[in-house]
Structure 1
Amino acid sequence: MSRNDLILAITVMAIWGFNFSMIKMGITDVHPLLATAARFSLAVFPAIFFIAKPNVQWRYLISYGLVFGVGIWGMASWSITAGLSSGVSSVLLSSNALIGMAVGIFIHKEKSTTRKLMGALIALVALLVLVTATNGNITGKGLLLIMTAAVSWVVMGVIVKSSKTKQAFAFNVWGMAFAPVPLVVFSVALHGTEIVEHAIGAWNTSTTIAVLFQAYPTTLFGYWVWNRLLIRYPLSTTAPLTLLVPVFALISGYFMYGEMLSVLQVIACALFLVGIGLIVKPSRNKSNANDYQCNSIKVTSNQPS
């Protein structure tokens, strides 16, 4: 990877990591489902009018919008208001790689390499230590929500792969168009229409800044750069870079909100990322088109946020 592209890639990882702190800022006064709906509304409009619809069936775009908008980022944002620190939320979302590997082995009967199995074991042990060594930065409800987001990430990968799309960025933008309405409907179903009235009244400058950051630097710019890099370089070069996202998320959470990890949690996070790294780093001879189609959007998410 060239020096300029490496700098650009690290910049995007920093944006995606910092985004978790911005999510926390945006949902301080506004319900996370509504803040997430605003994020995707701004990311889609007016960009969608300048990007041609990808050549895929509508059901893939609709299901992608539901899973990506509600299942991943709606739940991930909600997990923070439910008691997870923004940094820990980012780390736990990375467990999607562990869940995806388990689905492949136990459901699809796929074979796995010794390296990936070792990585899974390390990540699983580290995950258990991270959760049990909490100093108040992990709650049961928050853990349930972020794990729902991680499972949704795996489902999203299946949707993208099944669509056979080769237009990752366009697929992402058009799919996101189906996220805002379900997010609003879900929040109203849970709390009634007064939740929308409360959001309008509570909306402030911090909420606006947070939502704009999530919509433009994180979503549109970040995904555009990332897909560009995926076209230029093999996954063995690009995929490991996503492990920087939780690192930047933990750092920004510390400086913005004073989020602290216990000593055991610091060790657990480091080991967890090592384990996930062993899982996501593809073999050089297996970086095929299907891997690209799945990961070009999926890593957005590791998180673009």
Structure 2
Amino acid sequence: MSLKDSLLGLIIIFIWGFNFVIIAWGVQSMPPLLMGGLRFLLVAILGSFFIRMPNIPWRWMALYAFTLCFGQFSLLFSALAFGMPAGLASLVLQSQAVFTLLFSLVILKEQIKRSQMLAMLIAGLGLYLIASATHVSSMTILGFSLTVAAAIAWGLGNVVNRMINQRGYQANIGLVVWSSWFAMLPFFLTSYLVEGQQAIMTSLTNLNGLSVVVLFYLAIAASIIAYSLWSYLLMRYPAGQVAPLTLGAPIVGIVAATLLLDERMTTQQIIGGAIVASGLVINTFGSQLYQLCQRKVKA
């Protein structure tokens, strides 16, 4: 990558990593489902002024919105509201790579390489160690379970994204913006049914400056700006070169949560996190490392 594009990649890493601290601040003053609905309402309204509607059938935009937008973020926001530390959430959510592989195998009939199988086993071991540490940390099993469920929804959304691309459509920032019109509907509906009218009215009436900053960060920075930069990099470089950037987000998330939220990870969680990260690295770079070793052996 050029120096300019490398800097853009660092901006994406920072925005998505710091996003977890922003979410943690948001759920302190807003119900999580209502916050999700307001986030995607802002994305839809603000983004639609600047970004053209993509030439994608409505049913595919709705499916994308229900899985990757509503599914992922309703579960993630709820996880942080119910006891999942923001720093750990930024790491555990990256297990979406494992679930993407599994859904690709089952739905798209794609083959899984041996290095990817190894990566899934390693990441699974790391997640088990993190989950079993709930008795010695502030993390709740409900918060952890919701975060894993969010990763599952993200993985399913990634497969929907691939299916859209396979049909000749461009799954770019236009899809993110215009699918938000679909995503906000289940958010507001479930907020009304689960969180209740009283909680919604109280939250909207007492909306403070921090809540406004949170919503605009989630809508403008984490959604419109970050995904626009992501789409730009994907147009200029191979996906295999751009995708590893997401591995940097948990580093930013954990450091930011430690400094700003005073979060601390137990020794077992640190070990589990390192194992998960190792599995993700193997999943991302395993094939290249194997081919490099093969060439050295032949040489």
Q: In the alignment, what sits opposite 1:169?
A: 173
Q: In the alignment, what sits opposite 2:295?
A: none
> Displacement, 1:283?
5.2
| Amino acid across the alignment from 2:38 | A
State the distance in 2 between where 1:246 and 1:128 align: 18
Q: In the alignment, what sits opposite 1:144?
A: 145
Distance verdict in 2 for CA 1:272–1:229, change over 3 Å: same
Answer yes or no: is the 8 Å Cα contact 2:62–2:182 preserved in 1.
Answer: yes
> Displacement, 1:254?
0.6
Q: In the alignment, what sits opposite 2:291?
A: none
> Displacement, 1:106?
5.5
Q: In the alignment, what sits opposite 1:211?
A: 215
**Pairing of 1:78-227 with structure 2 (within 5 A):** 78-105=78-105, 110-134=110-134, 135-164=136-165, 165-227=169-231
Pairs aligned (count): 284
Structure-1-length-normalised TM-score: 0.87
State the distance in 2 between where 1:253 and 1:24 align: 9
State the distance in 1 between where 2:157 and 2:286 align: 19
Of 217, 228, 234 in structure 1, the residue corresponding to residue 238 of structure 2 is 234
> Displacement, 1:22?
0.3
Listed one character per residue, the Cα deviations across residues 234-271 of structure 1 (whole Å, up to 9, x for unaligned) are: 12211111101111111111111101001221122122
Q: In the alignment, what sits opposite 1:47?
A: 47
The DSSP-based 3-state class of the residue aligned with 1:137 is coil
State the distance in 2 between where 1:74 and 1:101 align: 22
**Pairing of 1:265-304 with structure 2 (within 5 A):** 265-281=269-285
Distance verdict in 2 for CA 1:104–1:61, change over 3 Å: closer
State the distance in 2 between where 1:54 and 1:172 align: 10
Tell me, which stretches of 5 or more residues in structure 1 are unaligned? 285-305
More helix by share: 2
> Displacement, 1:162?
2.3
* Two-structure CA RMSD over aligned residues (Å): 1.8
State the distance in 2 between where 1:106 and 1:219 align: 29
Distance verdict in 2 for CA 1:193–1:23, change over 3 Å: same
Q: Which sits farther off after the overlay, 161-170 or 23-32?
A: 161-170
Q: In the alignment, what sits opposite 1:262?
A: 266
Structure-2-length-normalised TM-score: 0.89
State the distance in 2 between where 1:195 and 1:209 align: 20
| Amino acid across the alignment from 1:225 | L
State the distance in 1 between where 2:231 and 2:88 align: 26
Between Structure 1 and Structure 2, whose CA radius of gyration is higher? 2
Answer yes or no: is the 8 Å Cα contact 1:75–1:149 preserved in 2.
Answer: yes
Distance verdict in 2 for CA 1:98–1:149, change over 3 Å: same
> Displacement, 1:108?
5.5
State the distance in 2 between where 1:30 and 1:262 align: 29
Q: In the alignment, what sits opposite 2:27?
A: 27
Answer yes or no: is the 8 Å Cα contact 1:236–1:283 preserved in 2.
Answer: no
> Displacement, 1:24?
0.8
Answer yes or no: is the 8 Å Cα contact 1:239–1:281 preserved in 2.
Answer: no
Answer yes or no: is the 8 Å Cα contact 1:68–1:176 preserved in 2.
Answer: no
Q: In the alignment, what sits opposite 2:255?
A: 251
Answer yes or no: is the 8 Å Cα contact 1:76–1:145 preserved in 2.
Answer: yes
State the distance in 1 between where 2:23 and 2:97 align: 22
State the distance in 2 between where 1:167 and 1:264 align: 39
**Pairing of 1:67-82 with structure 2 (within 5 A):** 67-82=67-82
Answer yes or no: is the 8 Å Cα contact 1:36–1:69 preserved in 2.
Answer: no
Answer yes or no: is the 8 Å Cα contact 2:80–2:143 preserved in 1.
Answer: yes
> Displacement, 1:117?
1.9
| Amino acid across the alignment from 1:94 | Q
